[in-house]
Amino acid sequence: MRPFTYVEGVSVADAAAAVHATPAAMFLAGGTTVVDLMKLGVLAPDTLVDVHRLPLGDIELDDRRARIGACVRNAQLAEHPEIRARWPVVGEALQSGMSPQLRNMSTVAGNVLQRTRCPYYRDPHSACNKRVPGSGCAARTGWDRDAAVLGTSPRCIAVFPSDLATALAILDAIIYTRRGDGGARRLPFDGFHRLPGDTPERETILDHGELVTHFELPDLALARRSHYFKVRDRASYDFALAAAAVALDVERGLVRDARIALGGVATRPWRCSAAEQSLRGKRAEPAAFRAAADLALADAVAGAHNGFKIELARHVITRALTELAIRPG
């Protein structure tokens, strides 16, 4: 690990300004991703600005919304009784994704902003356009079993890893930020993560020094009937081979509204809008769910070793929706 300067932020504005002023500076909260990547030599910031003691660690609720601080620990969010009742997909996603130790340490914003687990990104000796722009993509000609099948580009096929972000993708979440120049932004979660395109190193629409301060979840009736289903190599905590966050509004056996997002198979949280639309007005039964799953994966492109993910994702969507449709209430 290279030497770096450690700075403790004294306010949100101070922390954002400190990173904004230094091109190679980064924020530090739980550190469960940043510190690991520094040890591997993947990240080499010259300054770390610690934000975990800033007043960003609260969960505030009323009858219209939840306001979740960026530094809320994942365990705190996963175990909150009202979050579990009104947005069950959030708790299910978090419980599926990490060990208890990591949930106790990692933060909500860190989870949503976490870097890919692509082995070529995490190996400083391999070509990776996400880590070193213009160096190439070793996954394209290498072992791509865990790579994405949706949202890829010639420059990058790395999977986006966050379970929580997949859940937030169906909840009309809003992200609030403070910029290094003192400004603030309100960003819809849809579109927050960028497709790799020609610039896979740019993973979100955040500017350098822009600090996520909190997330807002509107009180959606649909969200109360939501579910997260995940398939992984190990039954214990592991990253998804394929996962689905789903929500259903069913009346008299017919789907009035549906939400579907995929994890583990795409380069960003993958909202399946066409599949959602196809379900409206249909009977809430496996045949309709299978047809929606086919539509969700219609544009998937397999590599040499990850073609199984396409069929797996179809099954994951169908099962998640079927389990949700038969739940009481």
The closest of 292, 299, 280, 300 to 320, measured between CA atoms, is: 292
Domain that holds residue 258: 225-325
What region does 126 belong to: left with phi over 0, alpha with psi -120 to 50, or beta?
A: beta
Question: Tokens 């289903």 map to which residue?
Answer: 229
pTM of the entire structure?
Answer: 0.96
- Given a cut of 90, whether residue 328 has pLDDT beyond it is no
Please answer whether residues 166 and 269 qualify as being in contact, where contact means their C-beta atoms are separated by less than 8 angstroms: yes
pLDDT in tens, 9-42: 999 999 999 999 999 999 999 999 999 999 999 9
Q: Give a yes or no: residue 202 inside a domain.
A: no
pLDDT tier at 112 (50, 70, 90 boundaries)? very high
Q: Give just the sign of the alpha carbon dihedral 136, 157, 123, 29.
A: positive
Q: Give a yes or no: residue 285 inside a domain.
A: yes
Q: Give a yes or no: residue 274 inside a domain.
A: yes
Q: Give a yes or no: residue 277 inside a domain.
A: yes
The closest of 93, 115, 108, 103 to 33, measured between CA atoms, is: 115
E strand or H helix at 176: strand 174-178
pLDDT in tens, 43-100: 999 999 999 999 999 999 999 999 999 999 999 999 999 999 999 999 999 999 878 8
- Given a cut of 80, whether residue 236 has pLDDT beyond it is no
The closest of 269, 254, 174, 259 to 225, measured between CA atoms, is: 259
Q: Which two tokens stand for residue 315?
A: 């099954």
Q: Give a yes or no: residue 251 inside a domain.
A: yes
Question: Tokens 């609720």 map to which residue?
Answer: 61
Question: Residue 250: which CATH number?
Answer: 3.30.390.50
Q: So what's the pLDDT on residue 329? A: 66
Q: Give a yes or no: residue 261 inside a domain.
A: yes
Total number of domains in the chain:
1
Q: Give a yes or no: residue 316 inside a domain.
A: yes
Q: Give a yes or no: residue 267 inside a domain.
A: yes
